[in-house]
Chain A
Amino acid sequence: MGETGPTRSQSDLAEMLELLLDKGVVINADIVVTVGETELLGVKLRAAIASFETAAQYGLEFPEGTDMKRVEEAAGVEELPESETVTVGVSPDGEEDDEAAASDEEGDDEAEASDEDDEADGEEEKAEAKAEAEAEHDGD
């Protein structure tokens, strides 16, 4: 921290803006207008702040001087690539069989051909490996 007092930097604003949506004094009375959509709005806003791509879509702009690195961190942007990896890692489960089945059809021809196809497409190689694995299983 280095210095002893509290700070109020631009980068702390995102946190405060969120507080405005669901904190602060609430009045429960008929003389007060309540906005049903406010909560929804809050959710949308949060989603937008959370994802920079979404934020860009909504034209959400941060004021000049905002510490973008921190906002990006706050938005969890660094997490995105990871979650994408997860998605990619998960989805082949569904496709695996198809792929394997597809290469099964072409079968051995391709497996042999690929030796000459030096450094063939990585995906193809994987598919073939799976096909071979499947074949072994079938043998069992």
Chain B
Amino acid sequence: MADSEFEEGRYLYCVVDAGTDEDATGFSEAGIDGGSVSVIVHDGLGAVVQSCDSPFDSDDLGRVREWLLTHQSVVDAAGERFGTPLPFRFDTILKGDDDAVMEWLSDQSETLETHLDDFAGHWEYRVGVAWDEDRVQDELEADDEKLAELRGKVDEAGEGTAFLLEKQYDNRLRDLRRARQKELTARLSDGLDPLVREFEVLDSNRGVLDSDDSNTPDEVVQVAFVAHEDREEEIGELLDEVAADPGIEIRFTGPWPPYSFAPELDA
């Protein structure tokens, strides 16, 4: 891939629509490692950048974490000022000086504008649903004859057979629990469908923080989606309905820059 050797570069936070903002270049923020962030504008497109002469790389994770926090806060500030930004991945650096950035903006203007228009007014939101495990188990037992029957058998059985019966009980419970999880996911996706676009059920095995046994152990369904900011209230109301079920708790976060739904640019 690209050469990581360079003498002068511009760390790229995000690209924004600077079209109607006459004072776009006046935007300034404190950047990573105290560098100063500026906006390079070309033809209505603004690249939010900071000069650098090497990638940000460190074994000191505390430091990396600070960088990530700063990155996030710069993108947030840009989003507040210019509307939904096209957020770039951490440590994306354009080789060259401001003119090179200008040239890149000019080369890519069509693609960048298309994506910016596409995301205009839209943000990423994330929803995590947790349920009360004990309650779910009780309800499943009440609803499912087979499970109730197995429970009864386990309670009556002697030590030897109880082990096998418990296994059967656990398997049945796991299947029912999974089915309920699917139902819940379907309910969310059906309900959200008319209100959002680019809905995604998060793979519970993806990141450590996304996995359902590490990110709040009780979260059984996690989704991310892009929605228009005007829909927030409707989405909230829908989620309130789901959360009205006893034992269900919902975490609804956003608006975030559309990180999870960001495009790949071939240029």
Least CB distance from A24 to B in Å reads 4
Q: Are A46 and B88 in contact (CB under 8 A)?
A: no
**Which of A3, A20, A45 contacts B89, CB < 8 Å?**
A20
Give the distance in Å from the alpha carbon of A16 to the alpha carbon of B126 in the complex: 10
Among listed A71-79, A94-102, A117-125, A128-136, interface-contacting one: A71-79
Q: Are A38 and B72 in contact (CB under 8 A)?
A: no
* A44 in contact (CB, < 8 A): yes
Q: Are A4 and B237 in contact (CB under 8 A)?
A: yes
Among listed B1-9, B37-45, B153-161, B190-198, interface-contacting one: B1-9
Interface residues of B in 95-138 (CB under 8 A from A): 95-96, 100, 104, 115, 125-126
Question: Which residues from chain A contact B262 at a C-beta distance below 8 Å?
Answer: 23-26
Give the distance in Å from the alpha carbon of A15 to the alpha carbon of B217 in the complex: 14
Q: Can you list 29 A-B contacts with CB-CB less than 8 angstroms, sorted by A residue number? A: A4-B236, A6-B253, A20-B71, A20-B89, A20-B90, A20-B259, A24-B88, A25-B262, A26-B88, A26-B262, A28-B265, A28-B267, A29-B2, A29-B267, A30-B2, A32-B94, A33-B4, A33-B55, A34-B1, A35-B4, A36-B4, A41-B64, A49-B209, A50-B209, A50-B214, A61-B65, A74-B214, A75-B214, A79-B214
9 additional contacts, CB 8 Å, given A5-B233, A20-B89? A1-B249, A5-B236, A25-B87, A26-B88, A27-B92, A50-B208, A73-B217, A74-B215, A76-B208
Residues of A within 8 A of B (CB): 1, 3-9, 12-38, 41, 44-50, 55, 58-61, 63, 70, 73-76, 78-79
Residues of B within 8 A of A (CB): 1-4, 6, 9, 15, 55, 57, 59-62, 64-65, 68-69, 71-72, 86-96, 100, 104, 115, 125-126, 207-211, 213-217, 232-233, 235-237, 239-240, 243, 249-256, 259-260, 262-267
